């Protein structure tokens, strides 16, 4: 039996176990099992891998996407530039264990936003500076878009929420929430921006997928914005994870 799973903390919000369990059943994949592994500290990862000899691959979620880099032996070339990983592939040879790191968020983000990109889309405002934010910034820059990052405190080239002027919000074509604000069970939470400045031209993309329609997206929908939920990204990055785990050349 090959075991796959998800590490992060907490994991009550995650759909990954349900997604892969249903996939295995639907596609008659009978030799695989997917489990949640709540890790309060990323330092527990080596023990988790050693104590589960059938563990072949892991997805990585909040808050470990950046810290997990310290536990990866072989990195996909994009990982260093992104600064975060969300897929681990585990290979064993005798007592030797090698952990490979990848980022499938990039695939999910690209697949989610590409249908909405046109020549008029130029500026992206990214709310949050965690591991998912790094993947969003990497993807948007590779699409030729200008990126502005926002965090609660701001530092250097990163703005704080109090720095968000009317002009900046109105000139942002895409606004992406990469924070956990709005995630179940705190479904009324949302990033602290002036939603009254939103217009029909804006595209709001939320990486939170539970609930599918977050308070952030609802604010945009009420004002006629195009909204992009996190579910498309979830499905796309999950399938990319499966490809990575099963590709002998990766």
Q: Cα dist. 15→5, 20, 30, 83, 132 in Å?
A: 12, 9, 20, 24, 17
Q: Cα dist. 90→23, 51, 129 in Å?
A: 21, 13, 28
Distance of CA 143 to the CA centre of its chain: 17
Dihedral sign, Cα of residue 61, residue 80, residue 235, residue 118: positive
Burial class of residue 156 in the structure, from the number of CB atoms within 10 Å of its CB (0-12 exposed, 13-18 middle, 19+ buried):
exposed
Distance of CA 140 to the CA centre of its chain: 14
Catalytic residue, candidates 18, 65, 122, 155: 65
* 141 is an active site residue: no
| Distance between CA atoms of residues 240 and 250, nearest Å | 12
CB 23 within 8 A of CB 194: no
Active site residues: 65
């Amino acid at each position: 039996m090959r075991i796959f799973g998800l590490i992060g903390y907490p994991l009550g919000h995650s759909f990954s176990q349900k997604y892969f369990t249903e996939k295995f059943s639907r596609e008659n994949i009978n030799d695989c099992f997917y489990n949640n592994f709540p890790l309060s500290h990323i330092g527990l990862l080596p023990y988790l891998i050693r104590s589960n000899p059938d563990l072949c691959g892991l997805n990585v979620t909040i808050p470990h996407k950046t810290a997990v880099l310290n536990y990866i032996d072989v990195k996909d070339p994009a990982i260093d530039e992104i600064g975060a990983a969300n897929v681990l592939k585990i290979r064993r040879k005798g007592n030797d264990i090698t952990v490979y790191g990848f980022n499938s968020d990039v695939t999910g983000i690209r697949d989610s936003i590409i249908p909405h990109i046109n020549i008029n889309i130029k500026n992206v405002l990214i709310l949050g500076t965690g591991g998912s934010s790094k993947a969003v910034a990497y993807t948007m820059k590779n699409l030729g878009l200008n990126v502005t990052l926002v965090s609660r405190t701001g530092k250097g080239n990163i703005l704080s929420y109090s720095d968000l002027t009317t002009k900046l919000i109105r000139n942002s074509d895409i606004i992406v929430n990469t924070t956990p604000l709005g995630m179940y069970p705190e479904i009324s939470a949302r990033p602290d921006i002036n939603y009254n400045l939103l217009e029909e031209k804006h595209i709001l993309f939320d990486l939170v997928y539970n609930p599918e329609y977050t308070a952030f997206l609802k604010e945009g929908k009420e004002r006629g914005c195009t909204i992009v939920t996190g579910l498309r990204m979830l499905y796309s990055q999950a399938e990319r994870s499966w490809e990575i785990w099963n590709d002998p050349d990766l």
